[in-house]
Chain A
Amino acid sequence: MFYVYVSRLIPCCILLLQFSFSSAQNTLKLKYPNSSVYAGIEVGSKGVKMTLVEVDNNAKRTGAYNVLKDTSINTDFISFTEPTFQVTLKEFTRLYASTRSDYKIPSYYVFTMISSGVKMQADKEEKKQWVKNLIDSFKRRINEPNRQVTQIDVLEESRLSHLGIIPEAKRYNTFLIDIGSGNSKGGYFPNGNTKDFRLFQLNWGTKSVANAVEKRLEDDRSLRNFNIQLARVLAGAEHSDIIYAVNESGSYRVSDNIAISGGIAWAVATLIAPELFDNPVVPVTYADVVKFSERLYNDFESLSDEAIRKTVKNRAIDKDKLAREVRRIHQVFDQRSLMAGTGLMLKIMRQFESIYVSKQFYLVKNGQVGWISAYVAQTAH
């Protein structure tokens, strides 16, 4: 009798375990009934990012894609030191290996890229050989000498970001600005097609504003003095760079919508509208962001994870997840960084704020995967 029981139970247990293991590996929730999964791995200024993108195979919906997963690891490659080189190479290789082993994505469906920020910095510091060494070392480690690692320039990256972030319905009347740590860039499609792209660049970002303010503080490092010096730095940036860059882009007349992405956009969007925590995009007004910037200075405690959690009354929102996200924001940005980034954002928004014409502003939370997704989808199709 015992052997009868065992002979019947063991296959069931084996089947159960196999099902469990296969389910564990296929944790991706696919959106389309007929689709393929691609991976894009990018070496950027701050580190290495991997994005898994599901592309709809249905011909009627060409261009439709869905971001399944994104992973970022901060390795600071553009410091161009041996330790950061080794860590970047290690993570680059590890992420590539994970696409093959964990997600079972074929090699020809994995796209590897070097972002424009790395290329620009390498050109500036004459470190192009470091980039070449990284690519060559990576190919040797994964044993694919013929693998193509594309180096994207800033124009193409901005164009792809626009394609990846902005929905098709708003494509030709939206101006996208990515506020980074060192600089800001973006642009729009002026001619009603996706090939002609007008680039916008600005040599100010969240960190560079904060650094400029820090230089002015001298002996008085109080928050009050930081706020005063911040206003001066931003006023100077507006007069010397921002007004000119926006006017020169010609975006004011053709753009009904202004979308802002970047780390500061993610932070402000989450803190300013926790009720829209599950939304990847948050519409805001200039007045909303002004009010938020005042809160940053006068009432920073109200932006803690516990305080934000208490303001949300929508039961559909996972408050624990929201609190974790707010804590993560405070780990990435301190009060002064938030003030600097928000101030820069306001100065840019101000160029589009008018009593005569209404522009709609949007803060995009997951903009970092925009251009990778669009690159993968474009190349896949």
Chain B
Amino acid sequence: MKSLLLLILSFMLVFTWGYFFYLKIQGDKEKTFYSAEHTDRKPAKVQHIPDSAANLNKSKAPDTILSGRDTSAQASSAEIAEVNTLRNEIIAIFNNQANIDLDLAAKKLNELQLKVIELRKRNIQVQENENFKALTKQITLPKKTVNKKPTGTGTPKRVFPQRITTLQNLIVSGLQLSAITADGDKERQTSRADMAEKLMGSVLLQNRLHQNSDIEIFVVVLQPNGQILQTSPWDTGTFETSGERKIYSYKLRCEGGAGKPCTFSLVADSFQKGQYKMLIYHNGNLIGTTSTTLM
């Protein structure tokens, strides 16, 4: 009898699991796009899809045959001639005082503007190449590592193994990462994971050559479980480093002048206990690391 009852119970459990599985498959299928007319799925072919959305565009294809833009680094004499031709055409339009076609003039002006920007871009690339050659002749400063001990009896215990790194003319220092909690209207640091509302980080960057230029850095914050901290999909992305693409937690543009720390904050619903590690990348190179521990 006991075995019979156990058998019945087992059968019911298997039936329930099977129903769950069936529902899961149905749920996955609901997201499938399928055509009402074509039940078998075929790769979309431009000429076969019976899609009337294409009829929305009734305007005829442009008659002007224009070649694709030249992406070569150096401005060719042909492009300069093109700019001059456009300029002359615009002058001719305005010289025809009896019948000035403003729409045509506006279009030609836009085109001229784009071509000039393209040429300027290439000129700057050439300039930057020359600057880079000059920089490579300079001597780089030696790397230093500094261990900073936590200060004060009232502050939470933190360990910042800071790496002060120079990459050619870039000096990185003042790396900090701390957890912040709201205390009424004010914010204060905390070392408790259950009280932390956000992580705040800062870094001091100095570009010895171009002190007022912006420096783009990527911040990667690793959680205690090894996963990269991503708070908002609008703030994260990927960047190239050491031949692979890496996800960043935050992207910053910092001023290269001395004395202005670059800060960011990462808000999350909850934080894990353990060590959070912050890595700073610039141009694909790791330029600084620090960490903080939440208890």
Asked if A183 and B234 make an inter-chain contact with CB atoms under 8 angstroms apart, the answer reads no
Q: Can you show 18 pairs from A to B with CB atoms below 8 A apart?
A: A72-B33, A79-B52, A80-B52, A124-B56, A182-B57, A183-B57, A203-B56, A207-B51, A210-B46, A211-B57, A232-B67, A232-B68, A235-B68, A239-B62, A276-B238, A279-B230, A283-B236, A337-B46
Interface magnitude class on chain A? 35 or more
A208 to B34 CA separation, bound complex (whole angstroms): 21
**Judging by beta carbons under 8 Å apart, are B53 and A211 in contact?**
no
> Judging by beta carbons under 8 Å apart, are B237 and A283 in contact?
yes
Given that A20-B19, A236-B62, A334-B46 are contacting pairs, would A205 and B36 also be in contact in the complex, using a CB cutoff of 8 Å?
Answer: no
Q: Please, how many angstroms separate the alpha-carbon atoms of A202 and B241 in the complex?
A: 38
List chain B residues, Cβ under 8 A from A373. none
A16 CB to nearest B CB, Å:
7
Of B116-124, B193-201, B272-280, B282-290, the one touching chain A: B116-124
Tell me if A313 is interfacial: C-beta within 8 Å of chain B: yes
Interface of A, helix, strand, loop or mixed by DSSP: helix
Known interface pairs A2-B1, A236-B66; A334-B12 also in contact (CB < 8 Å): no
* CB contact list, B169-209 vs A, under 8 A: none
Residues of B within 8 A of A240 (CB): 62
Assuming the contacts A27-B23, A205-B53, asked whether A211 and B46 have C-beta atoms less than 8 A apart, the reply is yes
Q: Are A212 and B61 in contact (CB under 8 A)?
A: yes
Say which residue of A1, A16, A228 sits within 8 Å of B12 (CB atoms): A16
A204 within 8 A of B: yes
Q: B46 contacts which of A228, A279, A282, A336 (Cβ < 8 Å)? A: A336
Chain B residues with CB below 8 A from A232, complex form: 65-68
Query: Top 9 A-B pairs ranked by shortest CB distance?
Result: A236-B62, A182-B56, A231-B68, A283-B237, A208-B57, A182-B53, A87-B36, A235-B66, A279-B233
Closest B residue to A362 using CB positions: B234
Instruction: Give the docked Cα–Cα distance between A134 and B107 (Å).
Output: 44
B-chain residues with CB within 8 Å of residue A124 when the two chains form the complex: 56
The answer to whether A333 has its CB under 8 Å from any CB of chain B is yes
Shortest Cβ distance from B247 into chain A, in angstroms? 6
Evaluate whether A332 and B44 lie within 8 angstroms (CB atoms) in the complex, with A232-B67, A275-B245 already known: yes
Taking CB as reference atom, which chain A residue is nearest B22?
A: A24
Is B227 part of the contact surface with A, judged by Cβ < 8 Å?
yes
Cβ of B27 within 8 Å of any chain A Cβ, yes or no, is: yes
Of the candidates B16, B56, B236, the one having the most CB atoms from chain A within 10 angstroms of its own CB is: B56
Q: A247 near B: Cβ within 8 Å? A: yes
Chain A residue with the shortest CB-CB distance to B56 = A182
What residues of A have a CB within 8 angstroms of the CB of B245 in the complex? Answer: 273, 275
Q: Chain B's nearest CB lies how many Å from the CB of A120? A: 8
Q: Which of A13, A87, A276 contacts B247 (CB 8 A)?
A: A276
Most buried by A among B2, B12, B20, B238: B238
Q: List B residues 6-29 near A (Cβ within 8 Å).
A: 8-9, 12-13, 16, 19-20, 23, 27
